[in-house]
Structures are given as C-alpha cells and as structure tokens.
Structure 1
C-alpha cells in the first residue's frame, strides 16, 4: 500500500465536491478497489468514502418499484428486499459474510465486473440507475467490461427495480471466488420477459434477445430448445472454455425459468 488522503463526507454534495480533485476516487464497499490498490494496479491520491452518507443507505418499496440506496450492502439487500425475492436471493449468494457486509450495490454496478451478480439483476429488471445528477436507463448504463455510462465524479445514489411478476437468478458458481462462471437472471413482466447473463461474455453482462422473444411467447424451458448462444464472444480461461460458457447460458436460463415457475 502507499500513502493517500482519506475523506468521509456526510452528504452527497460534500462527496461530489471532494471528487472534483483529479486524483480522487469514490470508495463504497472497497471489495475491488482496495485489493487493486494493494497490488498497485490503482493509485488514487484521495479516497472519498461514501459510507458516511446515511441518505444513500436503505431499501423502500412503493408502486411496484423497489428502491435501494447506492451504499446499501449485500447483506441488507438479502435481509430486507423481500418485496423482490429473487433479488434478495441473489444478494445472499454473493461472496461470503465478510463480502456481503462490506460490498455495496452501487459499488458493484459502478465497477461492472464481467462476472458480478448485480449487473444481471439490474439489466433483467429494466432498472433505473439514479446518480447525483441524472437517471440512467439500465440498457444505456453498461458499456462493456468494467465500463459504464458514469462520468468522472458521478456517483450512484440509488437503484430503482420494477418488481416483476416472477423472477429467478441461477448462478453456476466458481467455487473459489464465488463469482458467476455463468449466471442468468430471468424476469417476467406484463409486457414481456427479460433475460440477462453475467460471467460468460468478454463484453460483460448482456441480454439474450432470442430467449426473451421465445419466453415471452411461451414462458417454459421448452421454449429454449432450438436456441443457442454463439460462443465466439464468450470468455475462455482456466475455469472453462467459450463453448462451455455458451452451453451454460442456455442451461442456466432453463433452470431460471423452471425456478421462476
């Protein structure tokens, strides 16, 4: 580790002001940032902790929408997001107790790790990402591996999840990291089905449009029988080949549909 300044504002306005420094970086749960700093892959001059901003914590539900504060940790989502059971179940599967009690939903979405769970939930839910300056439709938010539509100094203040009729998240877990080797979040709304896949693609989280169309017409795992995810853009690493991950996309989607029923 190396020397850096640390500030812990108590309001969003104070945090945004502190982030105007070119060397400043926001710190939420720190589950990715701190290890990268220890490895000297990241070297911010100032860490601006968001954990002291009480307005960014908590969960509420109204008019069919679940709203989660940006620095709400995974353990709280698992315990208190009962209005959206599939989302609560997803949060309960993230990492281990230490990670779940430190990591935050806003930090996960802002980092956009290609194997993280929350991006699949947000994308499948048609969520809205609320920042200190605007609201971003989730289909515009994720822009590739570790890349989002967030601008410098912009922070996620909350996330709005429309609650679906039924939903399920199925994760084929990499046992050492507990990240998703491939994870699929399926939601069914009155106007159709959304399918989001994480952990598989070199581009990060993505929607499987062909499965969405088939499942909107027939919400059954049988509707996937003739479909296949191309393997050309899938990840190949020591845990699995591109072809294996492409196969898992279909398998985990079928399991998610069956579980949602």
Structure 2
C-alpha cells in the first residue's frame, strides 16, 4: 500500500464549476456555446444565480429554469445551451471523465463548417493568451448561428435538421473512437470493474481493500478558463489518466 496511489473521483466522473458567459448573442441572450456530447451524459447542479438551459432532442425543443438547488441532466445527442439571467454558476458533472476532454463535444456550427474537419478544428480551437476571450466569444456566436435553425426547425415539427447534425457530428469524431474506447476502458469501465471485484471480495469475507482506503483533497488546477458554456474552474488529479473538466 502507498499513500500516493491515485484515487479517481467516484465512478470516474468529471467535475468542473462554470460561471455562465454574459456576452449577448444575436438573439439578445447571454450564455454559452450550444453543443452536444456523443458518448457522455451531463448534469448541471445550480449553485448560484438564475438562468435557463435550452435543449434540442428529437422529442422537441425544451427550456428548463435554473436556480440554486436545481439539477438538470441530459443524455448524449441532446443539444444544450446554457443561458444566464443573473450571475449563473453551476457545478458540471460529466459521465466518462476523459472523453469530454478528448473531444466528445461537438459545437452546433453551420453545416459547411461541420463538413470540413479542418475548418471545424480552426473554429473550435482557442489560442492561449490574451486573445482567448475574443476567440471564445467568436466560437460561441458561430455555434449560436448554427443552433438557431435547428431550434426553429424543431419548433415547427421538423427533426430532420437535428438528425443531420447528429450524423455530421458523428462523422467528425469517427477518427477518435479507438482512443475514446481506451479512455473509457481505463476510466469508467475500470471503475465499474473495481466495484464488481469489491463485491466479490466482500462475498468471500475479504475486507483487505477496506483497510487500504485513503482520502484525497483537490482544489482547482485551473480557474477562469474559457469553457464551452462559461468561465470554468477545472481539476486535474495527479496520477490519474484524465482531467476533470470538459464543459
């Protein structure tokens, strides 16, 4: 046993804290960049302020109010857009930590950009340094430009543009899938298998793992970074294979 052995967060989840962007968009709303995740369920735990989350799925358009104590979560394939009304701050919980950081999210850029991997990468990537905020704002505005027609189509009862966006998003990430599978095996799957092994040990009366339990404390390793939805505080746990951020 060693005191320094890594301990991932429970279930290999990811965690970050996000202060919603307050920059206004073409439709007059201040908020984040609409996007979806292809393999991860996500949850918002609201800790401060007021706002809404707008979501698009083949079931239609939905808007849920966000206020302290509210928890909202959505499955892969749901386009989501965080909109802040008053100093909105949420704690974000991500399934399969490591996959969001590896590009599990795809922005709702216009179709022409989604069809060109190089153009998509250029639009999605932020520079380091003082130009990052302006680039994050341009990225958010471009995602809103592609998002509004998807929302309008759903409101009129037509889910086909959203389905086409799903297909385009899947095509973009196909080259990364082998890497994602490795991250999943080393992270979320390994965590579940450790639980199974622990249950088997308990059934046999073996409590040796309980005697080797440890405690870890982590503080944000990066604060105020430009995330998809807002300024983000994220964590990196030494000795693990993933960071805890991604939104």
User: Normalising to structure 1: TM-score of the pair?
Assistant: 0.29
Larger Rg: 2
More strand by share: 2
User: Normalising to structure 2: TM-score of the pair?
Assistant: 0.30
- Structure number with the bigger relative contact order (C-alpha 8 A, sep ≥ 6) is 2
